């Protein structure tokens, strides 16, 4: 399944719950989606709060899926072709060299 197909499934879920409706208490606005994306990413961090590995891979997988779904929805609502944005970023960073901050002192 590709990003476009995942986005369509995500949109079907949002439509099913009527979150795109104008009177929805969970308005799917870019700001709200960005906040939700950040909150879900923080939940990923909880899996590593007290150790180097996640103790519950199934729960971690669910949190990663939540992050991905909010990312897909934010890109969709903002009209961003996420697949192309990813490809552009990969191309831009392919030969990029990151210097250690210590090297610039």
Q: How many domains does the chain have?
A: 1
Q: Is residue 75 part of a domain?
A: yes
- Quickly list DSSP for 71-85: HHHHHHHTT--HHHH
Torsion angle in degrees (nearest 10) through CA of 20, 24, 28, 30: 130
Model pLDDT for residues 72-87, shown as the tens digit of each residue: 999 999 999 999 999 9
For position 15, which CATH number holds?
A: 1.10.287.1080
SS3 92: helix
Residue 102 has pLDDT above 90, yes or no: no
Model pLDDT for residues 28-72, shown as the tens digit of each residue: 999 999 999 999 999 999 999 898 999 899 999 999 999 999 999
This prediction has a pTM of 0.85
Q: Taking CA 99 as the corner, what is the angle to CA 52 and CA 38, rounded to the nearest 5 degrees?
A: 45
CA–CA gap between residue 86 and residue 41 (Å, rounded): 18
Q: Is residue 102 part of a domain?
A: no
Domain carrying residue 16: 3-92
């Amino acid at each position: 399944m590709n990003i476009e197909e995942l986005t369509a499934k995500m949109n079907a879920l949002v439509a099913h719950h009527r979150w795109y409706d104008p009177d929805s208490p969970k308005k799917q606005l870019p700001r709200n989606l960005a906040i939700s994306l950040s909150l879900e990413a923080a939940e990923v961090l909880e899996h590593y709060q007290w150790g180097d590995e996640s103790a519950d891979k199934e729960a971690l997988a669910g949190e990663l899926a939540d992050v991905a779904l909010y990312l897909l929805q934010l890109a969709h609502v903002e009209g961003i072709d996420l697949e192309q944005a990813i490809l552009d970023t990969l191309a831009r960073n392919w030969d990029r060299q990151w210097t250690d901050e210590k090297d610039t002192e």
